[in-house]
Each structure stands twice: as C-alpha cells, then as structure tokens.
A and B are shown apart, each in its own frame.
Chain A
Amino acid sequence: MLRIFKETRINFIGFQKWAIGFSLFLTLVTFVSIGYHWIVFKAPFNWSIEFIGGTQVQLKFEKPIHNEIQRVRDVMNQLGYTGSEIKPIGSAQDNELLIIVRKQGEAAAVGQEIHDALVKAMPDNTFEVRRHESIGPKIGGEMQRDAVWAVLLALVGILIYVWFRFQASFGVAAVIPLFHDVIITIGFFSVLNREFSLTFIAALLTIMGYSLNDNVVIFDRIRENMRKGLKGKSFLDLVNLSINQTLSRTIITSGITFVVVTILWVIGRKTTIGDFALAMMIGTIFGTYSTIYIASVLLVWWHKRWPIIKA
C-alpha cells in the first residue's frame, strides 16, 4: 500500500499566530489594492462589460497585428471611443485582438460600427469576427445586484445547513473561512488587474463550495473524535489529531483539484474560462489553508471560551 503520509503528529494549530498574521496581511493587501483601483480608475473593481455595459469584439486577423494595434486605436479614436481597450489575446500566431468599449449608453450598434470602420480603414489585413457582445447598462446594473445577492444567499444557506447538521459554533467556523477565501481571491485578481466577469463570480461561488466541502470533512472528523470523548486531551489536541488523521485525504484531494484546474488554465487561458481556472487555482490552495488555519482555529478559540456541551 503506497502511503504518502505515515502517522503524522504535526501541531498545525501551533502555527496559528503566523497563519493569522499571514491572512491579515493578505486581507490588508486586498483592501489596499481595491482602494487604489477606486482612486486611480474610479471604480473598485475592473468590471467586465457584463456589469457596466459596453461592447466587446474579438477579431482574428489574417496577418500579424503587433504593429497594427496603433492603426486600430486610431480608428477607435476617430469613432469617438477614446477610452477603449485594445489588447491581443491568445498566442502570438493567433493574431487575435480583443477590443472593449465600456459604458457606451444604449447604442447596441457599436459592434457593427467598429466592424465597418475597421474594414474600411484596414483593407490590407482582413479579419474575422470570432465573437462579439453588446450589453446595455441597465442589464449591467442588474447583474451586479444579482451577483451580490447570490453570494449572500449562498453564505446564509450554508450557515443554516451546517448549524443544523453540527452546532452553532461549527456553523460560524465553517462560514467565516469562506469570506476569507473570497476576499483573498478578489485580492489576487485586483492586484493582477484582471477583469471581474460573470465567470469570475461563478468561480467565487464554486470556491466557496469547495472550501466548505473541505471544512465539513474536517469538522465531521472532529465531531467523531469528540464523541469518543476527550480522554484527558485538550480540545486543541483533539483538533490537531483530527487534522492529522485526515491529512492524506486533504493533500490528495487538494492536489488533484489543483492540478486539474491548472490544466484547465494552461489550455483554456485565452478562452472565456481562463479567468475561472485562475480563480480556482487560487481558491483551491486557500480553501485548504483556510480549513486548517481559519475554520479549525476558530473552533479552538470558540471552545476555549465556551466548552462544548455536546457533540
């Protein structure tokens, strides 16, 4: 039988001070980054057009485009879209450009306008429209509201379920790490200046589900050990023991999930799921980390003040 981890006796909770410090640091970085964005870019997040309205066009050119970007920009400026974003996507030989015009009001004909202008201005380099999207600002506002609602509802639903299946302290200790994971993932995306799109929100919800999954497995073991009785151990020891017992499973599952989403990212980087995969990569690592250093630590703290009445 192949075993990566023999009986381990690592005092995980012992590192709590370092861990809390690390988490607080990352949280601080996140808020600083958001604040910076707010000041410099007038918006806390780099919202995609799905949230603030706009038009997005992905074009595949026949000939190489690195020198052409300026020409495209001239055309866009002429049309009046001076703030538009023009960036190459995919690998160099794909010759693909993504043009994003944000917040242009109700005009859904922007895509056609851009298309026609480019055809006229660059007859020597034909292109194909791979995809395009046009979203009015009203829908964008609704999406924002829906996204926030979705996240809040998820948290409440989870809290209720875990409270019901375990006990109050477990419920709270299961939910707070989810906040942590979501905030840190947002932080990474903010620092990397990546777009906050619908797929990113979907990734956040998935990360919440995954992180919670992790927490529940550990809590289940903790509860089982509690039923066997403390036998002279402190609650902290019991929690440590539970973590050690499930360490194999934790490492294997996180490992596999991380490798899988990395594969998704490497191959799907330039597709619409690229951001999703990247967010999941961050989420799987921190989901595991938060299970030990936020969820379990919170349990230990709680029960230091209020000893467990029942298991």
Chain B
Amino acid sequence: MEKKTTVRLSVVAISVLVLLACLFPSFKYYTKSVPVREEYVKKDPNILRHIVNLGLDLQGGMRLVLEIDRTNIDKEHDKDLLDRAFTVIENRINKLGVAEPTVQKQGNDRIIVELPGLKDEESAKNVIGRTAQLEFMLLREPAELDHAITVIDNAMAGKLPKDTTAAAAAHDTTAQKTKEQQTLAEKIFKGTGAPKESTAAAAMAAESTSLAAAPIQSFKDLLIPMGDQIAVRMENIGEVNSILVRPDVREALDRAGLGGNKFLWSHDTVRAEGAVDRVLYYVKGSPEMRGDAISDARGSIDQTGMRMGGAKIDLEMNAKGARRFSAVTAANVNKFMAIVLDSTVYSAPRIIQKISGGRAEITGNFSIQEANNLAIVLRAGALPAPVKIIEEQAVGPSLGQDSISKAAFAGLIAVLFIIVFALIYYRLSGAIALVALAINIVAVLAIMALLNATLTLPGIAGLILQLAMGIDANVIIFERIREEDRMGKTPRAAIESGYKMATWTIIDSHFTALITSAILYWKGTGAIKGFAVTLSLGILSNLYTALFVTRVPQDIIVGRNKQKLSI
C-alpha cells in the first residue's frame, strides 16, 4: 500500500472509532427499557448530556411559550423582569419532577419551557403559570363593611357621599350615619332582615333617594348574610363584580374614606339553602405581610379538628417574617386575618393570640395534589409579573412511539432500496459508497450526541433524505470515473482524475445546499430546527465521507488489482 493511502486509512479508522465512542452512551441508554434508564440517570445524571436527545414529538411531552404581561408594571421594575421571572419559573419546573426540562429566554418578554415525558399537564400549567402572590391581609370590621355597602347603594342610586376628608362639617353627619349603620348592621348580622327588605334602607334618613326606583337590584340585595361574613350566589357574582368596578362606585368609596380597602372573593365555594355561594371578604388593601416572608411551604393532610383528612399547606416563615407576624398578630387579637393567594382568599381565621413561632397554615377545599402544587409555587417564590401562555403543544407518548416506529420503518425501506441499487449498478464501488453512507449517518448522530442536540421526527426525515443526497456525491464521482475510464485512462488514473474533477462540483453543491439548511436552523423552531440540524450535519459529514473516506478502499483495491475497475 502506498504511504498516502496508509495515512488516509489511519485517519479514517481513527475517526470512525472516535465517532462510535461518542455514540456509545446513547446506544447504552436507548437500548434499555424505561425503568433501567431511570436507574442510569440516578446513578449518573450527566449521562443525559452525552446522548442524542429525543424531541418532544418522539418521546411525548409538552412545550409552552410564556409571555410576561407588563400591563401593570411600572418602569422602574421593568428592566430585569424577564430574568426574575425566568429564575422563578426555572425553580418551579425543577421541582416538577420531569427528567430533562429545558427553560429558555426568548427576546424581551418570552420564556420557552419544554417538559419531555410529562404526564400531568394540568398540574404543570398551574404550577408554571401562577403569579403566586401571597398576601396576609386584615379583615375589616363589620361596621366598616356595612358603611361600604351603604355607600355603594347610594352611589348606584346616584347619590355621592359628602367628602369625609373635610373634618368638622362631616362630624355630625358621621355620627348620625354611624347610628343608622348600627341599626342596619344589627339587622343584617342578626339575620332578622331578609336581604330584600328595603325598609331599613328607606329609613336611612333623607339622604337616600328611593332605591325602588333603581332599575337594578341594589348592591345590598345581592348579598347574603353568612355568620360573620357575607356571601353571594354564584349566578350573581358577575353582577357584583360589575358593580364593584364602576367608576362612580369607586369614587364614592374613595370619598367616604374607604378607598384603601378591597373586596376579595373566597377560593372555596359554600353550600347554603341548596345553592352554591362564594364568600365576599372586605379587607384592608395593603397587606400586612407578603410571600417573601415565607421560607418553606409543605403540603400535608390535616390530622386534627374539623378538617380532618383534608389537605393543607404548612407555612414556615423566615426570621424577619416571623418577627413581623408576631407583631401583627399581637396588635390584632380577635380580628380576622385573610390568607390571600393571587387575590383570592383561601381562609380567614380569627387571630386568637399573638403567634411568635412564625408558622401558619393555609386550609381550603383542595386535594393533596393541589396542596403540593401550591406549596411548590410558594417555595419558588412569586412571579414578578403575571405570565400568559401564548403557545402550547403537547404530544402524547403513544403518538411519540408510533412516530418512532414509522420513521424507523421508512428509514429501513429507504436504506434497503439504496443498498440494492448501489450494489447492482455500481457493484463493488457501490458497496464502498454504502459504507461511506453508513459512516455518514454514524457521524451525524455522533456529533449530535456530542452537542446533546435533539432529534425530532423531521430530523429523522432529514437523515433519510440525507441518504439520497449523500449518495449523489458518490454518483457524481463514480460517473466521472466511468467517463475518464471511457476516455482510455488506466484505472489508477481514472480514479485520480475522477475525484479531482468532481471535488469542486461537490463542494459547490454542498455549500449551496448548506445555505438553505443554515437558514432553516436559524429561523426554525422546535421540530424544524431538528430537521435543519440533521440535514446540515449530514451535508458537512458527507463532504468528508464521499471525498475522503471512499478514496481509501478504492485506492487499496486498485492497488492490488491493477487492471479492473469495479464500478
């Protein structure tokens, strides 16, 4: 063998061994069943970085594109909003128990999440998408609530209260109001007045105009007394909300000095008198404490008291939070503290005594699964701004499996066809071309394993397509060699000449094809990107296999058998 050929042979041999070594982890991983794979991952989590990744369309899973809603954010918090949201979401996802989640930022406002092998979509979306703003808010006294109700009713009737910030002038009106409110309050809270009774309201001094003339029910009419609180029938919730957002109502409340309070709905529904209601809480607008006071949250089953068997979340506060909690509870004994998550009241227990241990519970009508999800969300922290899901894709594992089998089958048939053709038409040279093609595929997969790239269904199509385009390079060379042979050159010379003439043609054609696949990679998303990856890698490795690798056996064979060309 010539020295040139020996060198070439060594290069090819070494490259093939290196490529096979790169592929070994993937081979080890994918040929085992699922439970054994999980074993591997437990023993060596890094293995997932050295294998070819399977796309969502092949192993099943979910992909979400989240967008930050900046509508309520002021400019100063704007800058690192995406980074903070990204950290929070990354934290939450890592706790979901998915094997290889990916989280990426995109542009200024978006986060892309991929969860391969995800089984519980609903939980995942809830965990990821919740703003998770936890607040502890004090409930307002019944008297104040009643005042608010009156103000709202008046506003609806077209009567705005006098501006109460003017001190002296308001003084006696307030006194009179308070007296009347107390009468009304007693009536409501003792349950003696059915909500529809408007006599109490009509008796409220000359200030109120007739409510009966109002075209819609008065605000008060929509409320049902329920122990210490008020509730609203489910079907009336919409109307209550529309009343509460009315500008005239809000202005009235502001003027009455009640602008700092909020109305919040309960998370749980209650059954009463055969109907389903939600409780409407009246709380002090600014929270006493927020979610940043929490150092840990765990879901658990309630072992004691009325909620035995139900789920709850145990909260543990950090040092600063515990101190604050202690101060707040000490100052507000016998008042109620609402535990609010994303502007929904989960519970509003009475503060019996000062709590210094920095512990609290969130109870409610949820399952242990929901409790655990909420706990995850509380542990990871609140999102700095709400996020919206603007794109969602999910593939079930059964479809993923099917896709793999179909792809493998198609690949097999295509390969058989090419093998048969190559052997019949180009004989021994055809066999050489096939070996080169095989090395080509191995090279693509090996580089993908090295880069931990993702193989998708279009990616497999790209590989199959690459087989056809790959053999094109060999065809060009072989046809060229045949031409040179026909012109009367010796086999040696024909091969030499053939490769030389064909080289630039092949480089040109491959580079131009590379332009389009590079653009596909750049502009493509998800599955398409996978296609661009296999195609681009295939084109590049084909340059190597067709021009370099096939040379070696050709030279060797012709070296031995100087007369005949098997092509």
Mark A residues whose CB is within 8 Å of B.
Answer: 1-3, 58, 60, 106, 108, 111-112, 128-136, 138-139, 146-147, 149-150, 153-154, 157-158, 161-162, 165, 198-199, 202, 205-206, 208-210, 212-213, 216-217, 220-221, 224, 245-246, 248-249, 252-253, 256-257, 259-261, 263-264, 267-268, 271-273, 276-277, 280
B512 near A146: Cβ-Cβ < 8 Å: no
CA distance A112 to B406 in the complex (A): 29
User: Do A267 and B413 contact each other (CB < 8 Å), given the known contacts A150-B523, A206-B465, A245-B483?
Assistant: yes
CB contacts (< 8 Å) of A252 on chain B: these are 425, 475, 479
Beta-carbon nearest neighbor of B396 in chain A: A130
Q: Does B194 contact A (CB under 8 A)?
A: no
Q: In chain B, residues 388-441, which have Cβ atoms closer than 8 Å to a Cβ of chain A?
A: 388-396, 398-399, 402-403, 406-407, 409-410, 413-414, 417-418, 421, 424-425, 427
Q: Does B65 contact A (CB under 8 A)?
A: yes
Selected A-B contacts with CB under 8 Å, 14 pairs? A134-B389, A136-B390, A146-B523, A150-B519, A150-B520, A158-B512, A158-B515, A165-B508, A202-B524, A257-B465, A263-B414, A264-B464, A272-B458, A276-B461
- Taking A135-B391, A154-B515, A264-B461 as known contacts, 4 extra A-B pairs with beta carbons closer than 8 A to each other, sorted by chain A number, are A158-B516, A220-B508, A272-B403, A280-B465
Partner of B479, one of A128, A147, A248: A248
A106 near B388: Cβ-Cβ < 8 Å: yes
Partner of B394, one of A1, A132, A209, A260: A132
Partner of B515, one of A129, A209, A221, A253: A209
What is the total of A-B residue contacts with beta carbons within 8 Å?
Answer: 195
Beta-carbon nearest neighbor of B408 in chain A: A267
Beta-carbon nearest neighbor of A94 in chain B: B402
User: Do A134 and B417 contact each other (CB < 8 Å), given the known contacts A154-B515, A268-B410?
Assistant: no
CA distance A1 to B485 in the complex (A): 11
B471 near A198: Cβ-Cβ < 8 Å: no
CB contacts (< 8 Å) of B516 on chain A: these are 154, 158, 205-206, 208-209, 212
CB contacts (< 8 Å) of B520 on chain A: these are 150, 202, 205-206
Mark B residues whose CB is within 8 Å of A.
Answer: 57, 65, 122, 388-396, 398-399, 402-403, 406-407, 409-410, 413-414, 417-418, 421, 424-425, 427, 457-458, 461, 464-465, 467-469, 471-472, 475-476, 479, 482-483, 501, 504-505, 508-513, 515-517, 519-520, 522-525, 527-528, 531-532, 535, 565, 567
Partner of B392, one of A2, A134, A210: A134
Partner of A106, one of B390, B393, B410: B390
CA distance A267 to B399 in the complex (A): 15
Partner of B465, one of A58, A217, A245, A260: A260
A202 near B531: Cβ-Cβ < 8 Å: yes
CA distance A38 to B122 in the complex (A): 39
User: Do A257 and B391 contact each other (CB < 8 Å), given the known contacts A150-B519, A158-B516, A272-B458?
Assistant: no
| CB of B275, distance to nearest CB on chain A (Å) | 23
B467 near A260: Cβ-Cβ < 8 Å: yes
CB contacts (< 8 Å) of B406 on chain A: these are 267-268, 271
CB contacts (< 8 Å) of B528 on chain A: these are 198-199, 202
| CB of A126, distance to nearest CB on chain B (Å) | 14
| CB of B499, distance to nearest CB on chain A (Å) | 15
CA distance A1 to B57 in the complex (A): 45
B519 near A108: Cβ-Cβ < 8 Å: no
Beta-carbon nearest neighbor of B397 in chain A: A130
| CB of B525, distance to nearest CB on chain A (Å) | 7
User: Do A108 and B461 contact each other (CB < 8 Å), given the known contacts A217-B476, A264-B410?
Assistant: no
User: Do A139 and B65 contact each other (CB < 8 Å), given the known contacts A252-B425, A260-B414?
Assistant: yes
B396 near A129: Cβ-Cβ < 8 Å: yes
CA distance A139 to B106 in the complex (A): 13
CB contacts (< 8 Å) of B402 on chain A: these are 271
A216 near B417: Cβ-Cβ < 8 Å: no
CB contacts (< 8 Å) of B407 on chain A: these are 268
CB contacts (< 8 Å) of A208 on chain B: these are 516
CA distance A60 to B401 in the complex (A): 14
B395 near A130: Cβ-Cβ < 8 Å: yes
Partner of B509, one of A139, A202, A217, A257: A217
| CB of B479, distance to nearest CB on chain A (Å) | 5
B504 near A220: Cβ-Cβ < 8 Å: yes
CB contacts (< 8 Å) of B504 on chain A: these are 220
Partner of B468, one of A150, A216, A221, A257: A257
| CB of A151, distance to nearest CB on chain B (Å) | 8
User: Do A256 and B418 contact each other (CB < 8 Å), given the known contacts A209-B515, A220-B504, A264-B461?
Assistant: yes
B65 near A161: Cβ-Cβ < 8 Å: no
CA distance A68 to B318 in the complex (A): 58
B417 near A260: Cβ-Cβ < 8 Å: yes
User: Do A217 and B458 contact each other (CB < 8 Å), given the known contacts A202-B520, A206-B465, A245-B483?
Assistant: no
CB contacts (< 8 Å) of B532 on chain A: these are 202
